[in-house]
Structures are given as structure tokens and as C-alpha cells.
Chains A and B, each alone.
Chain A
Amino acid sequence: MMKQTSATKDLIIMLVFIAAVLTAPIWLTPIGANYPDLLQKFAIYGIFAIGFNILFGLTGYLSFGHAVFLGIGSYAAVWSFKLLTMNILPAILFAVMWSGLFSVILGYISLRRSGIYFSILTLAFAQMSYNLAYSVLTPITNGETGLQLRLADPRYIDNMFTKAVSEGIPSTNLFGIKMSGYSGFYFCAVVLIICFWISLKIFRSPFGLTLSGIKSNQHRMKYTGFNPRPYLLAAFVISGMYAGLAGALLAVTDPLAGAERMQWTASGEVVLMTILGGLGTLIGPVIGAGVIKYFENIFSSIGDQNLFEMLSWLPEGMQSIVAYVISPFVGSGWHLTLGLVFMLIVIFLPGGLVSGFSKLASTFRPKKKTPQPVASTVSNASGTKEGE
């Protein structure tokens, strides 16, 4: 099985991934998801989920507080915009640094326990951080309103080079390229591709193999002389930094940081994304992130008015009946649909959407002499059982 994950295969995965990400504005057009903000969200939450998958998918440690690092990344980035410069590079750097620092602390404490106790510890930390950000640390986080840019911000580095002209709040930029709209998406897309590549390398590396070993049997790893704690901490910090990076990109494309980014629902969302797409698979989390963000943004916007327009091809009487049946599931009822989809996937496709695609692919493919599980090409290197 290991032989299947050759360098050529990886290259092909990378190339397909790059093509798919860069052409997203085109192939997402038919389903109405080709506007910059949603595309940015796809890329950013894709990064978040990839990072989360390095911890959860590889080691099996389920963190219920990962949104904390997302929030810390956002706050760090916005403060960099406020104090230093509107250039995004320092912001991203600070965000990754700070989230890395916090994940070392949180990881060091939480990883003393495993299983459900680890999950509860991370959840407790997350809830604590959320409440701190929401009210106690208001001077830093601006509480419920969220941290925003102001005209009067110092922006020391920017103001050293250019005289501040009163023309409204400057926009975030990468050496002059504005980070809103499609340029923002392409920047996030490039970062996503790099993150995906790093994750691929981790999955294929001895380090990744060690992590999978910890997942399948931690005691056996200890008997063979491995101390799992440093490996776990490294995985925790890496995935924390991924989350921080995603948080920074959220602030880059939309310079605002709010406490609800740290709420437990946000932490739960990334768990859903990973499981929905395919736990422990390379591409799964990205797909899961896309599906959830699509539901949140598109399904929630379908009101009764649009529903009738969409069903205009139906005969007169049918139209109102179908609309009546569908309407509880769209608009404000989008959570209901998401819940149903999630249930169906967990029950019928425990490996997530990716395993569904693999099943589809294997039914259409001519039979080989030695049938091999197709999922392993995109699943983790060691070929351990995933998500079941």
C-alpha cells in the first residue's frame, strides 16, 4: 500500500489541486458561489481545516477549542494593521507567531491527557479565551463590537514613509496590491496551495507516520522507545499555527476581528468540516470546509421570493406545493439541511465525502487484477483505518 503513494502520484495530486483551486471562480459559477468573499472563505476555512486535520486526522486527538487560534491570529493581524502597517506580510507573520506561542502553552497543558479529557480541556480553554476576549480584555479586543481599524490608528511604519492623507481608512495590501475582491482570493488560494503542499509532505514524512502510529496504538509506540508527547505537541502547534494563519487571512480580506470567531460553535464547525469531508484524508477537510461555507452563505439566502423564481419551471399548482415542502430547509432553516446532510454522511459514508467519491470512482472504473482500496491514494500514508 505504501508503494502507491509515490512521488509521481503526489505530484499529480498537487497539480490537480492547484488547477482546481485556481479555476474555482469558473467551475463554481453554475452553483452561484463565484463571488470573491465566498471564494476567500472557501480558501481560508480550507486552510483552517487542513491544519485541524493534521492534529485530529493524524493523531486522533480531538481538539474542541481550535477556534481560539483562529481568533488570536485575527486579533494579532488587526493589531499589526493598526500599529505597524497595512502591508499584510507582518500581519501574517505576527498572527502565526502568536498563535504558535499560545498553542505551545495550551498544548503543553492539554496534551497531558488524551481522549475525551483532552477534548474537554481544550473546550474549557476555548470558552475561557472567548469570555476573556468578549469582555475582560476589552481594551485589547474591543469586546463584543470587535476590533476594527480607525482613521486615527498610528500605523507607525506606513506613516514613516508617507504623509497620512485623510482619504478614509487605507485598505490592506501586499506591496500595493489590494487584498479585497479577486486579488484577495488569489492570494488566499496561493497560501492554501502552499499549506496543502506542507500538509502533504507531513502526511508522507516519518513524522506523519509517527503521528499515525500514536493514533493507532500509543502504548505500542511507547514500548518501541518513542516518547509521543513531543510529537503530539509538535502536531498541536503546527495545527495551531495553521489556524492562526487562517485567522490572519480572515483579517487580511476583511480587517475585523470579533470574539465570536473564538466561540465553541466555531471550534465545532471545523470538526464538522473535517468529518464531513473525510477525516484523515488530505483533500477531505478542504471539501468539507467548502460545503459548510456554501450552506452557510448560499442556502441561508434563499428566501420565499427566490424559491418561487427557482421553481418557475414547475407547473403552477406544483410550484407552491414544492416551495412549501422545501422552504423550511432553506433561508433561516439552513442549519436543518446541514444537520440532515451531516447525519446522512456520518451514517452512510463514515469516511466522509472523499470516501463517497472513491466509491463512485471505483464503480465506474474497469476492474483491475488486484483490486486495491482506492481511498488510500488520497488518505494518509500509513494506510491506517480512518474515521471509522
Chain B
Amino acid sequence: MSKIITSKWSRRGVLKAGAVTGAAISAPMFFTRNAFAAEFLNDPGSAANVTFGFNVPQTGAYADEGGDELRAYQLAVKHINGEGDGGMMNTMKPISLSGSGVLGKKVTYVTGDTQTKSDAARASAKRMIEKDGVTMVTGGSSSGVAIAVQSLCQEAGVIFMAGLTHSNDTTGKDKRRNGFRHFFNAYMSGAALGPVLEKNYGNERNAYHLTADYTWGWTQEASMIASTENIGWKTAATVKTPVGAGDFSQFITPVLNSGADTLILNHYGKDMINSLTQAVQFGLRDKQVNGKDFTIVVPLYSRLMAQGAGDNVKGIFGSTNWHWSLPDAGSQAFVKSFGAEYGFPPSQAAHTCYVQALLYADACERAGTFMPSEVIKQLEGYKFDGMGNGPTEYRAEDHQCFKDVLVVKGKENPSSQFDVLEVVEVTPRAQVEYKPDHEMFAGGDLGPANNGV
């Protein structure tokens, strides 16, 4: 370009530039004409392939989870296309997929890096929708990103299958018609943990909350306060900590003198690893307060985090969506094919993403089209089984999956580096269910479905 600037301006150059400008101005009409011919955005039509978009954090604080999610998606695509041993395709009930792709089309995929930032995640999702022509975007390893991408997919007119997002808001006040969440949420964690905590620690505890200072942390804290006060516990104090603080000692020291006998860590990822490790190093768990052993609770557990915290998680209660040691046929089939492919067991993030990809593909197969409004009809109120969580339902009112929740405990005698959590109780669905207009979820509106045209 600089060459043109500095060279003499010829008549031919002007003509050329004029012609190109004209072509550019007519470009939008040219590009939009096809869009209106399609019944919905990114209709694969008679193409041999259909493309899914896998939008996961590949850099940043949640890169571990993101990497595991991507592995799960790649495995899901293999199974949908009939490669490998089929995994949960053999156990999912009912199932319309036959291992020959979706609606006769082979599934391909594109990937993107969310960087755990809303802006980057939306830019990446937009690239998938506008350039790569995906019919569905899935992924996300934090609620902020999931909510941002969900609303983008709603505006653009494709389906969003949420990955790991635990905030109440994803299917609460920020719910969208085109978005679906299989993962459990903060309310369910609280509801599942309550009775177990009551059984193990009694009714007279005084809880001190350390909470990650953002949306997910707040909903997690509110949910835990509700369920612990329900069993008679008191709340000594709630303290917000900055995300990614690294050093939590200044927040942990006051706990010692607060008169509290229980510390609830509403942290996730590296924050949880750091705060828990430091709390144990400060000797909190060796203390006696009010004649009771001091205890720590981590509402949202993941195996990756437990591995990071090492010995410190022993005996500490928390909840998870799924764990690889579950004995049911679906879980076993998934763990087996994931292990055969990558050499280690999948995390709960991998599980929820794998299931989401399969659920979407199956819904398209049933709908006979990739049109979002039809696929949404298939998913709303859909009941299925054999995916590792027992009988599960996608509730039509808020697009949240309802299923059993696992209460887990850090294992005292782990047999391997992956065997760090043991399942204490499988909390039945009825106990964690709530009304769609529950106060922690109120204020949202699914709105109408959007096909993007």
C-alpha cells in the first residue's frame, strides 16, 4: 500500500481503485442474498459436512479444564461419526444417532480460544458463526464467558450448548432460548451439601465464607448460606476475595479469631487450590473452636483442582457434577474410551462437554434439521438416561438439566494421582430441584427462539 502512496498516481491506478471500490460497495448485497435464501443461519443444505464450534479456554487460568473439554469434544465427534468404540453412544437411551454422523452428514469442527475473557470468547464465537458456518457453539469454562457467548448465540441465531458453568445466572436471570446447560449449578450444590454437612457436622456450626468476588462466587455464597442456615448453622462473616489473588493469608488470618468453626471456600480453579492449601498450612484444620474440630468445605469440587491441592483435600466435602469412578454403564463406557484415547480419566468438565455434544447431535437427528427453533423443541423437556447421571431431564422452562448431584470427599488413601475424590452420596434429583421462578433464578426471560434470518 505504501508503494502506491509513494509512487506517482497514474490514470490506470485511479480506474483500478474505482472499479475495486465499486465492487466492494456492492459486496454486502452479494453476501446477504444467500443468507435470505436459507431458512436458518448456516444451513448446511446439501453439503456433506456439518460444522460444530468448540470454544474453550486454551490459555489463561482455566486452560487445564479447557484442554480436557477439547479432548472430550474431539472424542464426541469421533463417536458421532462412527469411529472408535462409540463410548456413550452405546449406553444413551433413547438414541437416534446411528454412528453415521448427523442427518447423513459427517461432523467436522473448528476450535477457538476464549482466553477466559468475554470479549475474546465472543470474537472467537463470531468467527465460528460468520466465517466457519457452525450450526452450534459449545464450550466455556467460566460462567461469565458462558453467559456472554450464550447471549451472542441468541442474537446470532445458533444453538449454544454450555460447557462448565456453575453460576445460577446462566439458566437464571441470563437464560436464553437458544442456550442449554447440562452442568449443575450453585443452588444444587448448596441443596445437595446441606444434609451431608448436617449429618457429619451437626446443626450448631458457625460458618465463615471466603468468596471469589464475581458473579459465580456471589451466587455460590448465597446458595451455601441459604442451605447452611436451613440446617441451623450461623454465618459468622462473608468476605470477598479478588479473583486470582494468589496469596490468601491476609484473608485467612482473621478467620482464626472470628469464633467461626467452619470455613466455606467459594473459590474455583487456582484460587481454590491456593486458598485451601494456605488454610491448611495455617493449621486451621488442627484447631478446636467451640469444642468442635475446625472444618473446611469446598462447595464446587473438580478432580483437576483436587489434584492441584494434593494432600490438603483429604476429608474435605464438596459437590461435583460427575466423577469418573461412577459405576454406571454410561460413565464406564465414557471413561474407557477416553482413557484408551488419552491415557487418563476424564474430568467433570470433559464429561459435561461430551454429553452436550452428543445431546445436540441427537436432537438434530430427531428434529430432522439443524434449524435452531426445531432443535430447541426437541431439547426442551427432553428426558434421557445412560449418560452418567442417571435419568436426566432438560427442563423446558429454563433449559437447565435436572439430575442427581454427587457429594464427594477428598479421599484419605488415594490409590493413584487421579483417585483423589470419593463419592459420599448421590443426592437424588428431587432434593436439588427448585421452581423456575425461585428467587435466586428470577428476573430472566428465555425470549423467543432465533433462527438467525
Contact = CB atoms under 8 A, between A and B. Distances in A.
Contacts of B240: 135
Nearest to B170: A145
* Residue among B7, B122, B155 with max Cβ neighbours from chain A (10 Å): B155
Nearest to A359: B2
B2 A358 contact: yes
Interface in A169-227: 169, 171, 180-183, 186
Nearest to A182: B28
B144 interface: yes
Given A181-B32, A300-B124, A357-B1, A23 B20 contact: yes
B112 interface: yes
B174 A361 contact: no
A334 B148 CA distance: 23
Contacts of A365: 6-7
Contacts of B213: 134-135, 143
B148 A148 contact: yes
A143 B21 CA distance: 43
B270 interface: no
B3 A296 contact: no
Interface residues of A, number: 69
B59 A186 contact: no
Interface string A313-347: 00000000000000000011011000000000000
Contact of A12 (B9, B131, B155): B9
Interface stretch (B293-301, B329-337, B389-397, B445-453): B445-453
A38 B243 CA distance: 30
Contacts of A22: 21, 24-25
A182 B17 contact: no
Contact of B119 (A171, A181, A260, A331): A260
Provide the main secondary structure of the chain A interface: helix
Given A146-B144, A148-B174, A354 B119 contact: no
Contacts of B127: 35, 37-38, 297, 301
A157 B2 CA distance: 46
A19 B144 contact: no
Given A37-B130, A182-B28, A19 B5 contact: no
B111 interface: yes
A278 B107 CA distance: 44
Contacts of A19: 17, 20-21
Contact of A151 (B58, B118, B123, B445): B445
A35 B147 CA distance: 24
A377 B147 CA distance: 48
Given A15-B17, A144-B144, A32 B154 contact: no
A134 B148 contact: no
A35 B131 CA distance: 6
B126 to A, nearest CB: 4
Interface in A1-47: 12-13, 15-16, 18-20, 22-27, 32, 35-38, 41
A92 B123 CA distance: 21
Contact of A300 (B23, B27, B112, B122): B112
Nearest to B121: A258
A256 B148 contact: yes
B10 to A, nearest CB: 11
B4 interface: yes
Contacts of B119: 250, 256, 258, 260-261
A23 B110 contact: no
A143 B215 contact: yes
B144 A377 contact: no
Given A37-B126, A135-B214, A23 B23 contact: yes
B445 A182 contact: no
Interface in B134-160: 143-144, 147-148, 151-152, 154-155
Contacts of A149: 151
Contacts of A169: 154-155, 447
B123 A41 contact: yes
Contacts of A160: none
Q: Interface residues of B toward A: which range?
A: 35 or more
A131 interface: yes
B117 interface: yes
A32 B151 CA distance: 26
A181 B41 CA distance: 13
A300 B118 CA distance: 16
Contact of A256 (B151, B443, B445): B151
B113 interface: yes
A305 B108 CA distance: 10
A116 interface: no
Given A19-B20, A256-B122, A32 B131 contact: yes
Interface string A349-365: 00000100110110011
B169 interface: yes
Nearest to B1: A20
A167 interface: yes
A168 interface: yes
A377 B5 contact: yes
Interface string B209-243: 00001111000000000000000000000001011
Interface in A95-110: none
B113 A145 contact: no
Contacts of A258: 117-119, 144, 148
Contacts of B113: 300-301, 331-332, 334
30 contacts: A15-B17, A16-B5, A23-B21, A26-B20, A35-B127, A35-B130, A38-B131, A41-B123, A143-B215, A144-B144, A181-B28, A181-B32, A182-B27, A183-B28, A186-B28, A256-B151, A260-B117, A261-B119, A300-B58, A301-B111, A301-B124, A331-B58, A332-B59, A334-B113, A335-B59, A357-B1, A358-B2, A365-B7, A378-B2, A378-B6
Interface of B: 1-7, 9, 17, 20-21, 23-25, 27-28, 31-32, 58-59, 63, 109-113, 117-120, 122-124, 126-127, 130-131, 143-144, 147-148, 151-152, 154-155, 169, 174, 213-216, 240, 242-243, 443, 445, 447-448, 450
The 7 closest A-B pairs by CB, nearest first: A144-B214, A357-B2, A332-B58, A37-B126, A35-B131, A182-B28, A35-B130
